Every structure is written in structure tokens, then in C-alpha cells.
Amino acid sequence: MTFGGEPSERPVVTRLNPPPPRRTRLSEQAGLREVMARFATGITVLTAGGEHGHGMTANAFSSVSLEPPMVLCCVSRAARMHAAIEAAGSFAVSILATDQRELARYFADWRRPAGLAQFDPVDWEPGPRTGAPLLGGSLAWLECELSRSYEAGDHSIFLGEVVSSSCGVAQDALVFYGGGYYHFDKQARATA
């Protein structure tokens, strides 16, 4: 692995089993997808409330700051969710549990109905602070006021100040890795 900077400044990283030479360049989209697929994440459903009510499966989600409490999510500018968050000025995050794989699929499928009708087959309730749908049975929920947004390539980064948060009774996370859904197995906890 090589890094920029003067030779004396470069960290030395030794890999025990060097991979075979790659033809794909990191800057190529397929290469970036392949690399990011090796980063295991949880899965969320982002929602916006009000007349532009909408939901979307997302794993580009991260904690940003504890004081003040802030999170971010990255949303494609081609997605209906993008306009929904901008119109609402707020969003909510439902962190999915192991048994919510079908919800992840549903909210990633463009054929679902528009508006609040898309929540008809789903157990949900409006968030007390934003009115954005919170999905029943999730691991945890956050409600955020949209603080700032940044254009970033074909996505926008939405920075949200957390105004409400709570945890559910479910304990086991739904995990996305290598393009597939996995159950999080607490029994398989790494001990080494």
C-alpha cells in the first residue's frame, strides 16, 4: 500500500498476504463500490414527515458529534428522499433490527407508493418532535432537525441536530456486507 507525502513521512504498512495486482483503479465507480462493500454497516430507514412524508433505506449514516448531538446521512440527489428532507427541514432515523430485512428491501424499492401511503403496510408512529415516521420494532430511533447540507458529488450530506432519541427492546442488528443482509450474532463476539 502506498501513501502520498515525502518518503520520510510515509507510514509503513505491511500486509502479510499481499493481494494480486489490481487492474481496477480506486477512482473508478465499480472499484469504489467493491471496496465499500467490504465495510460492514448497520441499516437504517430515513424518514421525513408532513405533506412530503417519505422513507428510504440508507446505510450512509454516521454519528458526528456528542455535544451538540449531531448525525449525518448521505442521500442521492436523484432520490425522492432528498427533496423530502429539504422540504421537511428535519428527518428521522430508524435503526433496523435483524428481523426487519423486508423493510430494508421495501424502502429501497422505487415501486413503493409515494407519500405517506408507502407506510400503510408498515407499523409506525409519528416522531413526537418532527412528525417523521418511526418504524415499529426497530433497534433505536433518532429525530433530527436539519442543521446544514453539503453538496457532495451526486449525493448531499445532511447534517442533523438530534432532538429526540430512544431505544427499543430489540437487540440484534441487521447488517449489510458485501451487497447482502446478515444477522448480527452476539454469540460470535470477537474475543481476540
Spatial CB neighbours of 74, under 8 Å, sequence gap ≥ 6 = 58, 60, 61, 152, 155, 156, 157, 158
Q: Candidates 22-30, 79-87, 143-151, 165-173 — which segment interacts with ligand FAD by CB under 6 A? A: 79-87
Interactions with ligand FAD, residue window 46-65 (CB under 6 A): 56-60
Please state, in angstroms and rounded to a whole number, the distance separating the CA atoms of residues 155 and 158.
9
**Which of residues 60 and 116 has its CB atom nearest to ligand FAD in the complex?**
60
Among 48, 71, 72, 75, binds ligand FAD (CB under 6 A): 75
Between residues 80 and 88, which has the closer beta carbon with respect to ligand FAD? 80
Site size toward ligand FAD, by CB under 6 A: 18
CB 115 within 8 A of CB 133: no
Separation between Cα atoms, residue 79 and residue 24, nearest integer Å: 28
Per CB under 6 A, 80 contacts ligand FAD: yes
Closest CB 84 distance from ligand FAD, rounded Å: 7
Which residues are CB-contacts of 129 (< 8 A; sequence separation ≥ 6)? Answer: 90, 143, 163, 164
Q: How far apart are CA 75 and CA 77, in angstroms?
A: 6
Query: By C-beta, is 141 or 176 nearer to ligand FAD?
Result: 176
Question: Measured between alpha carbons, how far is 90 from 143 in angstroms, rounded to an integer?
Answer: 8
Per CB under 6 A, 117 contacts ligand FAD: no
Residues within the interface to ligand FAD (CB under 6 A) = 43, 56-60, 74-76, 78-81, 104, 108, 110, 155, 176
